[in-house]
Structure 1
Amino acid sequence: MKISSILIFSMLMLVSCGPSVQASRSYQQTEVKEQGDSAMYEPSKQGQPGYLKSTPPKLVVGIVVDQMRYDYLTRFAHRYGEGGFNRLVRDGFNATNHHYNYVPTYTAPGHAAIYTGTTPANNGIIGNNWYDKFIEKTIYNASDPDVDPVGTDMNDGRMSPRKLLSTTVTDQLELHSQGRSKVIGISIKDRGAILPAGHAADAAYWFQGNDQGKFITSSYYMSELPEWVQNFNTSSQVRNYLKTWNTLYPLETYTASGKDLNDFERPPRGKDTATFPYDLSALAEKNGQLNLLKATPFGNSIVADFAIAALEAEKLGQGDETDFLAVSFSSTDYIGHQYGVNSVELEDTYLRLDQDLERLFKALDQQVGQGNYTVFLTADHGAVNVPAYLQSKRIEAGYFDGGQFEEKLNQALSDTYNTENLIKNISNDQIFFNHQEMLDAGVNASDLQQFVAQTIINFEHIDKVFTRDALVSGSFTEGTGRLIQNGFHHKRSGDVVYVLEPGVISYPTTGSTHGSSQSYDTHVPLLFYGKGIKPGQSARRYEITDIAPTISSLLQIAFPNASIGNPIVEVLED
């Protein structure tokens, strides 16, 4: 009886308190609203849910500059205009301590990581090319024999994103909008267009040089090129860039670079020295005809021209749903590889790219409207200074002879195991074992991993070695081990991974390359600008896998399905 009385009394108290509780909740929501723009929800009316007060941009433009080190933002800043890089830095958010969190730092893995929000360990893009142990041959990251070329009859068009194992932020946008969003990828390189655009894209276009000089695609996306692409291809826009490349400003003003004539650059075929000017029309025949434009700043200009044409023809940012334009400028990579980090050619390329960016941003202002679009700009990797140049400055650096390395390793294996066929492939700093030969010779996999690791650590220029057993069963939380593990895919990667010393590359003695875990390869720009972006700057460490979750949060859509990054909350207004 006593218990029943207490229950009845409690129920009466809950009923009588109902309006007061409801009023309290409404009051709390109103207070949250009045705290400022950081609040996500408006107060709800009685019986109705709250709603998001921010609206996504009409268009997102993702820009990847191939082989752009962070210091190119600061080194050339005084020479940039107000409407390109400096517009993003001045009016956007600059993440000054932004890094790749895996190796290898190559083009395809970089583009995949930016848009999937995860590393090769999950998205499967472990290199530009890699050895496929199941079919026992080297494959290309975007090659697809099951599609047909469109716009060409060459195999350059047999490409698709099918080797990418996880979704991209662009995929998630298409899923969220039920396919009503338009997603288009554009680049000189096929992988620079295909991987950012994702699996569900409306289109991806890449450049075919030779005597063609046009943008192509594959049947993965469409059966024929749209009329506007055909018109672009038949115009004289591309061929008009086959002209003389001279410095944009007087040569003596290029003080942020080394001397124009030096021993660290590789001239195009048909030219004795890597010095200005470059008569591209005269050099074309010996350098792949219009392919030559890829290794000039005009390759970037062609991409900017095509992106602006796409913006107008496809009416991007004009519909009810958010559209996405993924643009990758790749000529910077070709030029870095050929002329190096410290070259006048590279500086001139970035000054011209700055002008191309300004043209693109002006087109966005006119077509979409300032305040209606969002831009992010980053890079797929950095680059090392030419080791020969570093050596001339008494800085430790050098060159790794891969052929000699393989010979020494095979000799050591032959001496110990009395067989010369235990290694199937060495690529991307990974060693793949011949497992059938191991089985026939009675060699244990773990024992062979340990033997190889203990042997090659004593070779010249080898800094660190990691075995498959350690990468699969262990957990590296910091340092090079973490980067190696993040880049190691259990099915696609090899049996032993080695790391070269800082400043050491496997490359000719002229030009630069990339791929390592060193800061010159991992430290790249990250700029956000436009709708939904809070201007500012931060030296906090951010990682490449944070970009996709940040854009997903801005668009209020699901993260890519294998994403491991975190939204950069300092960037977002809400």
Structure 2
Amino acid sequence: MSMRKSLIVAAFLLFVLKLDARQDQHVSRPKLVVGIVVDQMRWDYLYRYYDRYSEDGFKRMMNEGYSCQNAFINYLPSFTAPGHSCIYTGSVPSIHGIVANDWMDNKTGKGIYCTEDKTVTAVAGSYKAGQMSPRNMLTSTITDELRLATNMRSKVYGISIKDRGAILPAGHLANGAFWFDDSTGNFMSSSYYGNNLPDWMTKFNNKRWADSFLNSTWVTLYDKSSYVQSLPDNNTFEGPIKGENKVTFPHSVAAAQTNYNRLRYLPAANTMLVKAAKACIHGTQLGQGSETDFLCISFSSTDYVGHTFTPNSVEAEDMFLRLDEEIASLLKYLDRHVGAGNYTIFLTADHGAAHNAEYMQSIKLPAGNRAEGDAFTSLNKWLKEKTGKDSLVRDLSNYQVYLNDRSIDKYKMDREAVKHLTTEWFEQQDGVAYIIDLEHMSNSTAPANICKMAMNGYNRLRSGCLQVILQPGWYSGYGPTGTTHGTWNPYDTHIPLLWYGWGIRQGENFKKVNMTDIAATLAAMLHIQMPNGCIGKPIKELMKK
């Protein structure tokens, strides 16, 4: 063969080899992404209990992964459903439409629950608890975009004790979403995802974990005297779990049970959730295919305990020490079944929580609490005295005022005048800092960052027309014990944001990032399109180059 022919053959073979190599190349992605949301986890819980955490749970993610130390919610109100939606859509309530856990539909005047869907039916659970789907969410999620990017070959599942904690993160295109049914003690679903539970979940339910956990007694993980980060176990700021008549350890709820609802208040619910997550990973072979899969996990019991016992309780401290063990268990399971370095995991919260108002007052810090129901009654009474007309306000919820437009039209009243009177009443009330007219925000005297949060939370079809901004330390709670959330303040909006595993470098940063940046960051890491309502930006510092 001549030299020229040899060169031509060699060049052709080199071209074929390069072509084959290109055909073998794939987009670099992890085998599995796991999203963890811890309901009502304040950012400072990472450090409040740091010395008591094991090396394998929160500390493993903090010290071997990447921590965004200054992550914030950038909308109002700071509640569970908007939080889960924002994390996975990269959007805000103004766009994704999940403005609260419940809201008033401004067209029909009817109350709406965030995931309610009367067109679907229960699967393996009670009728009402099964009429749920993600249809009220108006945008796609990062999980939806992963399914679209892989032509539906990626698998996506959501699991939580709360329905909204499973449904909203998993998105519109999920293979399944499962939540706890109080009437049966099982995980259930709805016909939105299929007419039957998958076999692996049926087998899990048949083990009847709820029965064994509900019959157990919650005692502290360590000697109670070692809980120095908490108030004394017996104090006047805490409320009892339903079925109990005391607020102190040990907690036993089985004797008074009428259903399985009380399990939500125990660390055992987190244990059962992790067992269900492991069953899902094994049963669906997550992380074992050629495409990236996604598992959304939301821990709800932290929220139930926070609302009942306050952030300063022994119960809250013990709940997080036990959750640390569950996180460690899950990470080790992922190491074994997916492979260390083959999965990416992030951990964040949907919101934080305030300190109990009466506790704050007892230590001479300004705070207060007023129930929205009481304020609603007083406001309508005052408006009647001023105008002679009944029921001019239809609802007061989510720190927002919904005017009764039908009554205003019926009485041929000036709507702006009614808003002005309503604002006047609020400005006379203790604990109120500002009233923002959500329909004319440019007139507000509130600081610009608070106005922007209110703007991000306003959806004209689902929100009230006035936003109530309370003084720091104030909230609208249900009574003198426990606590709640929903405000703009850092204790409600400063959230943990930890990243670990594939594609994540070790380190931390202190620049401000928003909850909306989480989905944008995942989209960049996975090389897929952002959700269709995403306004966030990728946090490029945390990615390996």
Check whether TM > 0.5. Answer: yes
Confirm or deny: 8 A CA contact 1:104 1:487 kept in the other structure: yes
Aligned to 2:440: 470
Q: Residues 395-430 of structure 1: CA distance to partner in whole angstroms, max 9, x if unpaired? A: 101111434423442244224433123222221121
What TM-score do you get using the length of structure 1 for normalisation? 0.88
Q: 1:530 aligns with which of 501, 511, 515?
A: 501
Note the C-alpha offset of 1:493: 1.0
Q: Name whichever of 442-451 and 217-226 sits farther off.
A: 442-451
Aligned to 2:11: none
Please give the secondary structure, in 2, of the residue aligned with 1:244: coil
1:240 partnered with 2:208: no
1:280 partnered with 2:253: yes
2:355 maps to a residue whose letter is: N
Q: 2:137 aligns with which of 143, 164, 176?
A: 164
Please give the secondary structure, in 2, of the residue aligned with 1:133: coil
Q: Aligned partners of 2:344 and 2:123: how far apart in 1?
A: 31
Q: Aligned partners of 1:137 and 1:423: how far apart in 2?
A: 14
Note the C-alpha offset of 1:521: 0.2
Confirm or deny: 8 A CA contact 1:150 1:223 kept in the other structure: yes
Confirm or deny: 8 A CA contact 1:241 1:293 kept in the other structure: yes
Q: Aligned partners of 2:254 and 2:374: how far apart in 1?
A: 40
Please give the secondary structure, in 1, of the residue aligned with 2:401: strand
Aligned to 1:540: 511
Residues 1:114 and 1:451: Cα distance change in structure 2 (over 3 Å):
same
1:233 maps to a residue whose letter is: N
Note the C-alpha offset of 1:73: 0.4
Q: 1:503 aligns with which of 473, 494, 500?
A: 473
1:225 partnered with 2:203: no
Aligned to 1:458: 428
What TM-score do you get using the length of structure 2 for normalisation? 0.93
2:123 maps to a residue whose letter is: V
1:360 partnered with 2:330: yes
Aligned length: 525
Confirm or deny: 8 A CA contact 1:471 1:488 kept in the other structure: no
Confirm or deny: 8 A CA contact 1:446 1:469 kept in the other structure: no
Q: Aligned partners of 1:100 and 1:51: how far apart in 2?
A: 42
1:123 maps to a residue whose letter is: H
Q: Aligned partners of 1:476 and 1:371: how far apart in 2?
A: 47
Q: Aligned partners of 2:442 and 2:448: how far apart in 1?
A: 16
1:185 partnered with 2:188: no
Residues 1:541 and 1:50: Cα distance change in structure 2 (over 3 Å):
farther
1:234 maps to a residue whose letter is: N
Q: Aligned partners of 2:328 and 2:374: how far apart in 1?
A: 48
Q: Which of the pair has more CA radius of gyration? A: 1
Confirm or deny: 8 A CA contact 2:89 2:534 kept in the other structure: yes
1:486 maps to a residue whose letter is: N
Note the C-alpha offset of 1:451: 3.0
Aligned to 2:12: none
Q: Aligned partners of 2:442 and 2:22: how far apart in 1?
A: 46
Note the C-alpha offset of 1:441: 2.5
Note the C-alpha offset of 1:154: 2.3
Confirm or deny: 8 A CA contact 1:112 1:125 kept in the other structure: yes
Note the C-alpha offset of 1:268: 2.5
Q: Aligned partners of 1:522 and 1:555: how far apart in 2?
A: 27
Q: Aligned partners of 1:263 and 1:474: how far apart in 2?
A: 39
Confirm or deny: 8 A CA contact 1:449 1:468 kept in the other structure: no
1:487 partnered with 2:457: yes
2:97 maps to a residue whose letter is: G
Q: Name whichever of 217-226 and 420-429 sits farther off.
A: 420-429
1:132 partnered with 2:77: no
Fraction of identical pairs, as percent: 42
1:570 partnered with 2:536: no
Confirm or deny: 8 A CA contact 1:387 1:399 kept in the other structure: yes
1:570 maps to a residue whose letter is: E
Q: Aligned partners of 1:430 and 1:547: how far apart in 2?
A: 27
Q: 1:376 aligns with which of 316, 321, 346?
A: 346
Aligned to 2:528: 557
Confirm or deny: 8 A CA contact 2:130 2:189 kept in the other structure: yes
- The ranges of structure 1 where at least 4 consecutive aligned residues each deviate by more than 4 angstroms after the TM superposition are 48-54, 472-477
Residues 1:545 and 1:50: Cα distance change in structure 2 (over 3 Å):
farther
Aligned to 2:266: 296
Q: Aligned partners of 2:300 and 2:407: how far apart in 1?
A: 41
Q: Aligned partners of 2:405 and 2:418: how far apart in 1?
A: 11
Residues 1:481 and 1:344: Cα distance change in structure 2 (over 3 Å):
same
Note the C-alpha offset of 1:180: 0.3
Please give the secondary structure, in 2, of the residue aligned with 1:161: coil
Residues 1:552 and 1:258: Cα distance change in structure 2 (over 3 Å):
same
Residues 1:269 and 1:215: Cα distance change in structure 2 (over 3 Å):
closer
**RMSD between aligned alpha carbons?**
2.1
Q: Aligned partners of 2:473 and 2:445: how far apart in 1?
A: 27
Note the C-alpha offset of 1:512: 1.2
Aligned pairs for 1:380-399 within 5 A: 380-399=350-369
Please give the secondary structure, in 1, of the residue aligned with 2:541: coil
Aligned to 1:33: none
Gaps of 5+ in 1: 1-44
Residues 1:401 and 1:192: Cα distance change in structure 2 (over 3 Å):
closer
Aligned to 1:63: 36
Q: Aligned partners of 1:489 and 1:50: how far apart in 2?
A: 47
Aligned to 1:8: none
Note the C-alpha offset of 1:475: 12
Q: Aligned partners of 2:223 and 2:161: how far apart in 1?
A: 29
Confirm or deny: 8 A CA contact 2:373 2:396 kept in the other structure: no
Confirm or deny: 8 A CA contact 1:297 1:349 kept in the other structure: yes
Q: Aligned partners of 2:404 and 2:293: how far apart in 1?
A: 47
Please give the secondary structure, in 1, of the residue aligned with 2:338: helix
